[in-house]
Amino acid sequence: MFAIYKKEQGKWTRGLTMGALATGLVFGALWLAQHPLVAAGNSLKLGSQGQSVLVAVGVGLWVLGGLYLAFWVSYLRPRTGDFFIAVEGEMKKVSWSSTKEVIGSTQVVVFTLVFMAVVLLVVDVVFCELFYYIKVLQYSPLKALFGGA
């Protein structure tokens, strides 16, 4: 029942997947416990905290069941185990860019975006002015920006 499939392979991929699923479950449980619809439906009060016994048990079972499901998907199921092992093997083959290359590429992208934004602004203003002078538009964007009617 708890025999881990190919135990020595795909450790990082399985562990990170299990961690992500567990984190999602914990945040889901916190949301569910504080959700207004759940809080409004509390009929059996537990002390002065105002939590329902039913809600507390339900959220606890949901988290435990979800954690087992995440463990089963990450570690026990052969099909996903083979997938995670293959993913980890492929990630080892990836040629990662250096920090200098990433910074240089980012600078090129930011410069290109700013340049294209300025070009599109100029083209837009030129067309708006052209349409104003041929009486398609009712107002001039340049007159509106720099004072005037």
Render pLDDT for 45-76 as a digit per residue (tens, 0 to 9): 444 445 566 667 777 888 888 888 888 887 88
Question: Are residues 18 and 89 part of one domain?
Answer: yes
Q: Across residues 81-109, what is the average pLDDT?
A: 91
What are the backbone dihedrals phi and psi of residue 52, each rounded to the nearest 5 degrees, phi first?
-80, 140
Q: Is the pLDDT of residue 102 over 90?
A: yes
> What's the total number of domains in the chain?
2
* Domain housing 45: 11-93
Question: Are residues 86 and 37 part of one domain?
Answer: yes
Partner residues linked to 46 by β-bridges: 51
Query: Angle at CA 17, nearest 5°, toward 79 and 75?
Result: 45
Binned at pLDDT 50, 70 and 90, residue 44 comes out as: very low
Domain annotation covers residue 18:
yes
Question: Are residues 70 and 53 part of one domain?
Answer: yes
Question: Are residues 130 and 73 part of one domain?
Answer: no
Strands 51-52 and 45-46: antiparallel
Domain annotation covers residue 1:
no
Q: Across residues 80-85, what is the average pLDDT?
A: 84
